[in-house]
Homo-oligomer: A and B are copies of this chain.
Amino acid sequence: MINKDFNEKCAVVGVFNSKSASQTAYFSLFSMQHRGQEAAGISSSDGKKMHTIKDRGLVTQVFDEVKLATLKGDIAIGHTRYSTAGDDSILDAQPVYARYDLGELAIVHNGNFTNAEPVRKKLIDKGAIFQTHMDTENLIHLIAKSDKTELLDRIMDGVKKVEGAFSLVFSNETQMFAVRDPHGFRPLSLGKISNENGEDGYIVASETCAFDLVGAKFIRDVKAGELLIFEKGKEPKSIQLFEPNPHHCIFEYVYFARPDSTVIGKNVYKLRKEMGRNLAKESPVEADMVVPVPDGGVPSALGYAEESGIPFNMAIMRNHYVGRTFIEPTQKIRDLKVKMKLSPMSEVVGGKRVIVIDDSIVRGTTSRQIVRMLKEAGAKEVHMRISSPPTTHPCYYGVDTPDQEQLIASKSTVSEIAKYIEADSLAYLSNDGLLDSVGRDLNYCQACFTGDFVIEPKE
């Protein structure tokens, strides 16, 4: 009866005490556009009133100078959204905003509540209405229904009732709050910006690449289970809201984060190279060249090439003009959509034994097209190497994955997959190899590879 919620992979940002808060939020969202292209939104607070603009489209499409100028105030929180479906997707953009007994409140959320369904049912049983399809709406209800009198206490109350993955930023008329779930699934970093007044301003963002663009200085990551309170004229105050039990999403390192971001103290690009190195150690193969599937496979292919001593070549070209094309190709020229995006260079791969490196295999259909294109381009052998273990399980913590039965690795052995994608050989990086690459100093969520879910979703 009630629609299944969409899992989202997204970016969040919060800017506090800056004369150009909404502008800074805009540029931050721009730099995190890779985390969500479907919708974007910003809510600002001018001390008395909040202002919200959100719509479908890229950050640069949703906002222009005139619109940003209406988002007045020293506080701004923002969001980019990965994917929506359905008729009324416009309602499913964030920030989620509501008026309630304490005034106004806006929330942005990266992650996914694993108990969204039972919480919503309970709320609905108590008479709550849901006007969007986002699980974030639960939280605003919980805060509104809390019997505490201060927003801070209410946020603590509310956040304790949700489970799963959440990197959240809240704003009311005068304050900002940031929270990270006890497992720290999704990243969230804290930075400092130099306010035009000489005062300190602060920024929290999903990825540090946002800091680089807006000239913010990275301070530290928000800790798993930590709540940060931003109030005018004060340093951010920290409360350890939950006992930390870190399960940092390892897939951020594998695929998700921008290579120039530093996630939990580690540069993504370097880790990816290391994955490639370990992959070369684990699964060597005699070949003439190492070729990445751009852009995701580039760093690990570089690592593989360095380790193996086999020359690296950018022999698959990526066309960045693709966007949304409305021309449906005739049956005659099939597989055109992948071809419009990726084209192998026959002059480079012709007659060669090629190791092609990608970060992951989901359904296997794209991998098969890539192998086929390489063979059509003349490659003598195509050996696919994947810089992560087989993806056998869906993610319940905020990454948009297909159902388990659509994950080819959930039901096929590696050799079956090799056959399906028509590769001469296929190997994945082992779990151990992945951990060696990213470092064993931290604890990770690897559930998409192992099925070890620290929290099970509740129906």
Enumerate chain A interface residues (CB-CB to B < 8 A): 1-3, 20, 23, 26-27, 30-31, 33-34, 51-55, 58-60, 63-65, 68, 70-71, 87-88, 90-91, 96-101, 103, 124-132, 140-141, 144-146, 196, 209, 212-215, 258-260, 262, 267, 269-270, 298-299, 302, 306, 311-315, 317, 319-321, 323-330, 332-333, 336, 339-340, 343-348
A131 → chain B closest CB, angstroms: 5
A195 → chain B closest CB, angstroms: 10
Given A64-B327, A131-B131, A314-B299, A267:B99 Cβ within 8 A = no
Docked pose: A270 CA to B347 CA in angstroms: 8
B141→A213 contact, CB < 8 A: no
Given A60-B326, A323-B60, A348-B269, A101:B87 Cβ within 8 A = no
Docked pose: A312 CA to B63 CA in angstroms: 38
B330→A20 contact, CB < 8 A: yes
Given A269-B347, A314-B269, A63:B320 Cβ within 8 A = no
Choose from B131, B317, B332, B344 the contact partner of A98 (Cβ within 8 Å).
B131
A52→B131 contact, CB < 8 A: no
Given A33-B321, A60-B321, A65-B328, A144:B131 Cβ within 8 A = no
Q: Please name the 7 residue pairs, one residue from A and one from B, whose CB atoms are nearest each other, closest first.
A: A267-B347, A127-B145, A98-B129, A260-B345, A260-B317, A51-B87, A99-B130
Choose from B33, B262, B345 the contact partner of A269 (Cβ within 8 Å).
B345
| Given A52-B87, A58-B323, 5 other A-B residues pairs in contact with their CB atoms under 8 A | A27-B333, A30-B340, A101-B124, A215-B333, A269-B345
Docked pose: A258 CA to B320 CA in angstroms: 12
- Contact partners of A52 in chain B: CB under 8 A: 87-88
- Contact partners of A60 in chain B: CB under 8 A: 321, 323-327
- Contact partners of A20 in chain B: CB under 8 A: 330, 332
